Structure formats: structure tokens, C-alpha cells
Structure 1
Amino acid sequence: MTAEHTAEPVAPGSGQDAAIDNLAALESEAIHIFREVAGEFDRPVILFSGGKDSTVLLHLAIKAFWPAPVPFPLLHVDTGHNFDEVIEFRDRVVEKYGLRLVVAKVQDWIDDGRLTERPDGTRNPLQTTPLLDTIGEHGFDAVFGGGRRDEERARAKERIFSLRNAFGQWEPRRQRAELWNLYNGRHRPGEHVRVFPLSNWTEFDVWNYIAREKVELPSIYFAHQRDVYLRDGMWLTEGPWGGPRDGEDVHTRTVRYRTVGDGSCTGAVESTATTIEEVIAEVQASRLTERGATRADDRMSEAAMEDRKREGYF
């Protein structure tokens, strides 16, 4: 993938050699995981939203099987509340690489009564049912996700191969030890395994890898002007999900997004970073993960992510 925002090459002996070696090791581990799954499972699928982590995940899958095509499809659980720039990017990448994309639209589940719209308008918690229904419908037995252990404390508990029961639920006591890069993908009929090749990566690693590999990203990851309003310490933007509420004034700010998701609960951060190097400097200085800083759905309770994982969410 070619990036509009590129980084300067690092000179040998510059002090960043260790970081480069770390990226090489992380890349090697992820490619090994992709190939293990391809050899062990019948119907894998990659979750792909167009966000930075799933884009890096797809980039690694392309490298793992090149020059052959990626041997399994992509799946996007579309809340209907996505940012236009991200959906345009998703579709462009799928077309560029000749990939097959399966889209599970939350709106379809609402329309036929399988789901009910939440009073607060956010649809992130509604993704679980469409995800599990689509996994079952297509018989996917391994589902790649871009989750990282540094994102959130519930995700820090994940194995790289995360077994899910016949109801799609995560059961901590059934998770297997992973020693010496040996992964156990055994599962019963109806069960499946979630696979996280980026488990050992950090947000800092992801951005350094994007710089090294010149990975293209949606434009909203870089500073731009946007009309936003302040809610619970986060800058949210107007969209089909509603808002602002009474008393929430709209301001034009120079912002960027550290993560992308349902627009009703994904906040922007004020930033002037227009290049990958500037983004990396911001990430290095931050003391909050991107989810902790910009995802309202993770603030619903102390165990919000843990609860969703047990229900079948990533």
C-alpha cells in the first residue's frame, strides 16, 4: 500500500536500529500467525473496518501470501454511523487488491427487529449480534482482529488464539497457554477462534510500522479542520447519529482521530500533526491509549469491554 504521508528513511546507527529490529520481529510473528491459521483452519476471515490497525493487519496478510492473493475474505460490521472518509478508503482498498468484502449492516438487524436502537444513539454495542450471526452464516472458523493488548485492560488478557464457544462467548478458563510460538487452534463444531496477530504491538509500534512500510490510511488520522462539540471531555462531530445536545456548542477545531469507529462515541483530539513523523511524536508523548482518550463506549462502566467480550464482541 502506498501512503500519501511518508517518513524519511532511518540511517544505520542512528539510535533507532533497535526499534527497526523490534518491528521486524513483530512483523515476522504476525506473518507466522497468518500462515499458521491458513494451514490449520478451513474458513478464516479478516475483520476490516478501514481503521489503522485493521489496515496494518491487511498489509501483513498481503505480505504473508504474496505473490498469491490473500486466501480469505474480509468482514466489516458496519454500524451505519461510520465516517465517510473511512468507508471510502475501505472500498478503495478492497477494489485495489481485488478482495472479497462481506458487510454485515447493523441497520439490517434493526429493520427486521433482531436489534433495537439504543436511546443514546450509539451503535458500537449493537455490533455483537451481527458479528456472531455472520460468522455462523458463513461458517467462519477463524476470525482475525486487529486488537492489541495495550489498548484496554480486558484486551490485555487475550491470547493470540482466543477460543470462543458455540455462542461466540469468551471464556477465560478455556484459554490455552501459548509457549514458544505454538498455537492451539482446536475447537469443537460450532466454536471458532479469534486471532490477534497484533497482540504484542503498541500504538507506537503500529505508527512506526506505517511509516516504515508507507501504509496508506484514511485522511482523518491526520490534522484537519472539523466542526465538533465537547461532550465528556471529548470532541465529537455531527452526523446521522445525532448531536449536539442542548448546551453543546459547535466549534471549528483543528483535530485528528487516533482511532475510528461509531461516530456517536468516537472522539477527535486537538492536533496539528499532518505527517506521520508528527503523529508518532504525539503518540510517544501521550499518557493515554487511543481508546482511553477517545472512545466513549469504553467509559460506560469499569468493565465495559470485558462485558462485551463475554457476549461475543472483540
Structure 2
Amino acid sequence: MTTVATVKEGTDSPYALSHLDALESEAVHIFREVAGEFEKPVILFSGGKDSILMLHLALKAFTPAPVPFSLLHVDTGHNFPEVLDYRDRTVARHGLRLHVASVQDYIDRGVLKERPDGTRNPLQTVPLTEKIQSEKFDAVFGGGRRDEEKARAKERVFSLRDEFSQWDPRRQRPELWNLYNGRHAPGEHVRVFPLSNWTELDVWQYIAREGIELPEIYYAHEREVFARGGMWLTAGEWGGPKDGETVEKRLVRYRTVGDMSCTGAVDSDADTIEKVIAEIAASRLTERGATRADDKLSEAAMEDRKREGYF
């Protein structure tokens, strides 16, 4: 494990700060910085591992006081039941306020239309941005990490969004050391990514160290799936499988969790956290590159969506 040499104040004796401690310290600092700079922040919380980690760090940042932020989930209507159950239990356990923006509501009102491929992940942008505007959130915490995808790799920790929630890479500000600029005009807001410098392996090692509970779909289990686009998708009411696609039971797990219609499972027997860590350490594909169909719509799919206001 990488360590950072530090000297305790008032002594000549160095002590070792692990890389996980350094990442935790950075994230806690970011949460406290936002609490001091902004009026109404919110944490995006889907019940996926990165949002779970964010909430854990936020709880640490402000304990014994309560977290001074509410939570926001954009519900596609195609979420994994295990993840929604975890979300609701977590909100109740910590006494948090949860805002839900429903994609189904927008479809029912005729604002959005179902896509031919059945996926609703790209449809999240309008409910997300309208909820941010209606609630007047001025800072929105996201669980994006730079190792996930190239558009996220070039985004700042404090990422300015205009009055339409759009991201312009040319408007990004310098971030020197641990100095963050949260200034924004009325109607604008800032997306904040406290996990920017974490890797997937860091996330799992920290989860193991802290004993953080996750939804069971992150571990190997038997599931009915079918093959599409080189991925194993879960059969369900969202529209899969189609004619010619065969459902079979396989031992799989999920590396990332999104809409059921575009999040693929991976063949795996990693049913413990130690096995998951070993599997990730040996992997040569990022979690999104291996399992997310929505990132394969085009070479710049993620950046195009972020410019429109996506996570």
C-alpha cells in the first residue's frame, strides 16, 4: 500500500499516512469546503457503491453533527430492486431527506419519449437539471472518478455548470493544491466530485477497511441474463430480451450499477470482498468500459451527455 511520509507537529518522528487515509482526508476537506462556500448543496445518491462511499465520507466529515445536505436520486424506473431497497434503508437509518426525480413522470407527461433500445439512462438529464433548478441547489455532489472514463478524467473537482446545467470544458478553472473556486453566477451551480482521485481499486479497498455494506448485486450471485452487445443484461419488464435473445442463468456480479437496460454484469465467482479486490486488481478494463452500453453510443458519448447536463 502506498504511503505518504509526514512529520508530526512538535516532533522529529515521521509517521506513515496510507494512500487511503490521504484520499479520505482530501474528500472530507472537499465536503467541509462545500458546506462553508455554498447555501444549498445536495448529494446524488443512487445506492451504487460510489454514492454509498460519498455518503460514508460525508457522515465522517460532520460527525457527531448530522450531514447538512439532503440526497437526490434520479429514478429511471428501471433500477435494480436490490439497489432501491438499499437506498431506502440507508435514508431511513440516517434520518436523511431524499429528493426523487422520476423519469417515468416525464414520460407520462409526454415531456420525454422512450428510446427504441429501451434504455432510460440518457433520459435522466432533464429530470436531473429541472430538479436542481426547482430546488435551487447550488452545489451537487457526484461520485464520478477520473479513472472511469476520459471525459471524467479531464473534469475538475469543482465543475462549473451554466444556467442550463451545461458543462463547458473551456470554462474550467485552475485547481492548485487544495484550493477550490466555488464562485458562480445566479442560476449557475457547481458539480463537485470528491472521489475524483480515487480508483475503482481504492474504492473497494476502502470499503473493505471501513466495513461498508453494499447491495448484494456487487458480489457473485446466480441471475437470469441474456447476451446483447457483448454484455450480460438482466431480463426484466424494461424490454429485454428481444426475439432471438436467450435467457440463461449465470454466476455474475455487477461492477457498476445504473439502468438495468444498459448495465452489464460480468462473469465472476467473487462472492467476498477479498475476491472482488483480487479480481479488480487483475482487470485491464475500466468498470464503465466493460459494462456500460450507454458509453458506447459514440466515441464521445459521455462528454456529449455532460455538455447537456448529465452527471
Q: TM-score range by the shorter chain?
A: over 0.9
| The one of 188, 213, 223 aligned to 2:210 | 213
The within-5 A match list for 1:200-239 is 200-239=197-236
Partner residue, 2:73 = 76
Partner residue, 1:273 = 270
- Structure 2 length-normalised TM: 0.95
Q: For residues 244 and 180 of structure 1, what CA distance do their matches in structure 2 show?
A: 49
Q: Cα deviation per residue 1:60-112 (whole Å; 9 max; x = unaligned)?
A: 00000000110010000000000000000000000000000000010011111
Deviation at 1:17, TM superposition (A): 6.3
Q: Structure 2 stretches of 5 or more lacking a match?
A: 5-16
Partner residue, 2:295 = 298
Q: Which segment drifts farther, 234-243 or 304-313?
A: 234-243
1:52 corresponds to 2:37: no
SS in 2 for 1:313: coil
Q: Cα deviation per residue 1:194-214 (whole Å; 9 max; x = unaligned)?
A: 000000000000000000111
SS in 2 for 1:167: coil
Q: Cα deviation per residue 1:23-43 (whole Å; 9 max; x = unaligned)?
A: 000000000000000000000
1:172 corresponds to 2:169: yes
4+ residue runs over 4 A deviation: none
SS in 2 for 1:309: helix
Q: For residues 247 and 306 of structure 2, what CA distance do their matches in structure 1 show?
A: 34
Q: Cα deviation per residue 1:253-284 (whole Å; 9 max; x = unaligned)?
A: 00000000100000000100011100000000
Deviation at 1:243, TM superposition (A): 1.1
Whichever residue aligns with residue 18 of structure 1, its letter is T
Q: Cα deviation per residue 1:213-234 (whole Å; 9 max; x = unaligned)?
A: 1111000000000011111110
CA-atom RMSD in angstroms:
1.0
Q: For residues 250 and 60 of structure 1, what CA distance do their matches in structure 2 show?
A: 39
Partner residue, 2:9 = none
Identity over the aligned pairs, expressed in percent? 75
Q: How many residue pairs are counted as aligned between the two chains? A: 299
Q: Cα deviation per residue 1:153-180 (whole Å; 9 max; x = unaligned)?
A: 0100110000000000001111100002
Higher normalized contact order (CA 8 Å, seq sep 6+, divided by chain length)? 1
Partner residue, 2:20 = 23
Pick closer, same or farther for the CA change 1:245–1:204 going to 2, 3 Å.
same
Partner residue, 1:5 = none
Deviation at 1:18, TM superposition (A): 3.4
Q: Structure 1 stretches of 5 or more lacking a match?
A: 1-15
1:251 corresponds to 2:248: yes
Partner residue, 1:9 = none
The within-5 A match list for 1:124-203 is 124-203=121-200
Partner residue, 1:7 = none
Q: For residues 17 and 299 of structure 1, what CA distance do their matches in structure 2 show?
A: 34
